[in-house]
Structure 1
Amino acid sequence: MHDTTIIEIDKKNSQTWLKTTLASVLLMSAGCAMSFSVWAVDTSVKELRIGYQKSAINFAVAKQNKYLEQEFPNAKISWNEFPAGPQILEALAVGSIDVGVTGDTPPVYAQAAGKPLYYVAYEAAKPLASAILIPKNSSIKQLKDLKGKRIALQKGSSSHFLLVQAVQKAGLTWSDVQPIWLTPADARAAFQKGAVDAWAIWDPYYASAQLEDGAKVLTTGKGLSPNYTFYLAAPKFVQSHPKAVTGLIGQINQADKWVQKNPQQTADLIAKNTGLRPEVSRVFVDRRPKPSGASPLNAKVIKEQQLLADRFSQLNIIPKRISIAEAVWNKN
């Protein structure tokens, strides 16, 4: 009788343990399924064409570490390099790429021209990573001294807005300065030769001119331009593969985590990709906010981007007022 009781108790304990274990397994499986549903990618993606600049740190790391290949194992990933943001968005508009990364001004120009795009994510503001530079022997001392001066910059780039804001702060009008529209490489050559009086530019070109040319900083973007980085996508791609956008943002953040853990390796990678000296790349990396992952646009970012667009429309730099919110992708 006693032995039978013990056997019955053990049997009950075993059944209880089995039920508890099975419940735990089911719960864990459900959790995994929920996690997968949040981060799962659209396996129907067969091709993903990225537009980037060599200085786009998160994309540079994602490219090196093949993060997108891991995220989209069925897709052919192609990396298409451009000199600046405006050229990236032109390629996006004509269907040559699916996703691109730019500064704050290129998408405003593109949207005002009626070119299709979606803002899908942004990186933290980095006003200290752009500047208006002057030669080391320049007589220019303050912003109002820019009146009548020749200033090199990429039209439609983030440096365009920086100069617009600087001119306003100086109490000047846009017609008081002479913008010289040049790509970063051509602007650097003109700056070195003394063919321009100032240069509105972003990192790593900014860091390079500082360290190698002895350029002086007339002003950074602090208090003038937040200098956001935006990830933009073709509406057709987003509508066809909404899960892929979530997966892409996840891998951008994976790349940023790698950057935070490996700043010197990141600087070495950027130096290798751009031909810049490692010490220049390190300044560039160190000047970048920490962290600088990608997030969907929030109300504050949309508002600041709208202020940029409104400023450009007020000055007739773009032909009409646009609504930034209308171009923001909402996964819901």
Structure 2
Amino acid sequence: MALGAILVALPAGCGSSDPSADGDALRIGYQKWGTYSLLKASGALEPKAREYGLRVEWVEFPAGPPLLEALNAGSLDLGHAGDSPPLFAQAAGVPFVYVAASSPSPESSAIVVRADSALREPRDLKGKRIGFVKGSSAHTMVVRVLERNGLAVGDVTPVYLAPADARAALEGGSIDAWSIWDPYLAAAEVAGGARRVADGRGYVTGREYYFASKAFAEKRPEVVRAFLTELTRVKDWAKERPGEVNRMLADQTGIALGAIEKAESRRNRYDTGPITDALVAEQQTIADRYVQLGLLPHKIDVRAAVVIIPFGGKE
């Protein structure tokens, strides 16, 4: 069956494997709305995994840091996150490797305030309480926005909160601003309760980084390659069918269709490529700044966590 037919035919959730199926588990950590959600919903990975004697287990996480903690605990084989979580994980000795990355999508990240807030621009954030997930891409966003607008990280009070908790805190007034990514960002904007004071353009790339546990990449590189190939195929399909993708993601995530449409209208993560020297340099720059700020305990060498697994084309 063609990939498009699979995507159209399957209802939400049918990408999950039958736990009673034969074979060892291929355990994949994913986040709401990310391109892994498309692959999960398509069901296209499951038959490919069976060719390798594997059944697929999908595990949802609210953000990258807890996903990488699960990988460190040996509970996952594959995952994805923004720019910062892999850096904190590498500094903590988590045994993982980068295997690919998406194209950039800077508009998918922003720092927002309540619609009725007096804060209008980044410099207004001085002395304010900003909520975000520690060690996430939203953390990078805060650092970059402050420093490029004449402020220091110490000029604000960080409040470390999961996305759902941060939205409630913003709406309730216990924080003044919130650094967040789509689809949580779009959901807050569509609901009318949030307004941007800065988005990611000029500050962050908004890429997804794809990674595997080091042991799994060394033991089953052919499975990692097959996974990346299927991910690329489903992205290629999605580029041509935005309406179907929006409905599918709304069903898959439980987020209102209007918010998904808003998020998808500014996303550009539908290309997947290898970890290049330029991407290593991007990540190294962030890591080095985190060391200078005392957020990472020591210097890391990003390149040491990169493995090259060619993918694409027919399996």
Give the structure 2 partner of residue 240 of structure 1.
Answer: 219
Of Structure 1 and Structure 2, which has the larger fraction of its residues in helix?
Answer: 1
Q: Could you tell me which amino acid in structure 2 is paired with residue 298 of structure 1?
A: T
Q: Which has the larger radius of gyration?
A: 1
Counterpart of 2:31 (choices 27, 31, 53) is 53
Map Cα deviations across residues 179-232 of structure 1 (whole Å, 9 max, x no partner).
110000100111111211100000011111111034111011111111210111
Moved over 6 A (4+): none
Q: Contact 1:120–1:231 (CA<8 Å) still a contact in 2?
A: yes
Identity %: 38
Q: CA deviation at 1:83?
A: 0.9
Aligned length: 286
Q: Contact 2:188–2:194 (CA<8 Å) still a contact in 1?
A: yes
Structure 2 stretches of 5 or more lacking a match? 1-22, 311-315
**1:85 and 2:59 are equivalent in the alignment:** no
Q: 1:55 and 1:139 mapped to 2: Cα distance?
A: 31
Q: Could you tell me which amino acid in structure 2 is paired with residue 329 of structure 1?
A: V
| Superposition TM-score, scaled by structure 2 size | 0.88
Give the structure 2 partner of residue 308 of structure 1.
Answer: 286
Q: 1:275 and 1:159 mapped to 2: Cα distance?
A: 22
Q: Secondary structure at the match of 1:297?
A: coil
**1:66 and 2:53 are equivalent in the alignment:** no
Structure 1 stretches of 5 or more lacking a match? 1-44
| Superposition TM-score, scaled by structure 1 size | 0.84
Q: 1:302 and 1:161 mapped to 2: Cα distance?
A: 16
Q: After superposition, where does 1:221-236 map in structure 2 within 5 Å?
A: 221-236=200-215
Give the structure 2 partner of residue 188 of structure 1.
Answer: 167
Q: CA deviation at 1:46?
A: 3.5
**1:265 and 2:244 are equivalent in the alignment:** yes
Q: CA deviation at 1:275?
A: 2.0
Q: CA deviation at 1:142?
A: 1.8
Q: 1:59 and 1:288 mapped to 2: Cα distance?
A: 14
Q: Contact 1:204–1:281 (CA<8 Å) still a contact in 2?
A: yes
Counterpart of 1:329 (choices 295, 307, 310) is 307
Q: Contact 1:249–1:295 (CA<8 Å) still a contact in 2?
A: no
Q: 2:54 and 2:123 mapped to 1: Cα distance?
A: 52
Q: CA deviation at 1:172?
A: 1.4
Q: Secondary structure at the match of 1:63?
A: helix
**1:298 and 2:286 are equivalent in the alignment:** no
Q: Contact 1:59–1:255 (CA<8 Å) still a contact in 2?
A: no
Q: CA deviation at 1:294?
A: 2.0
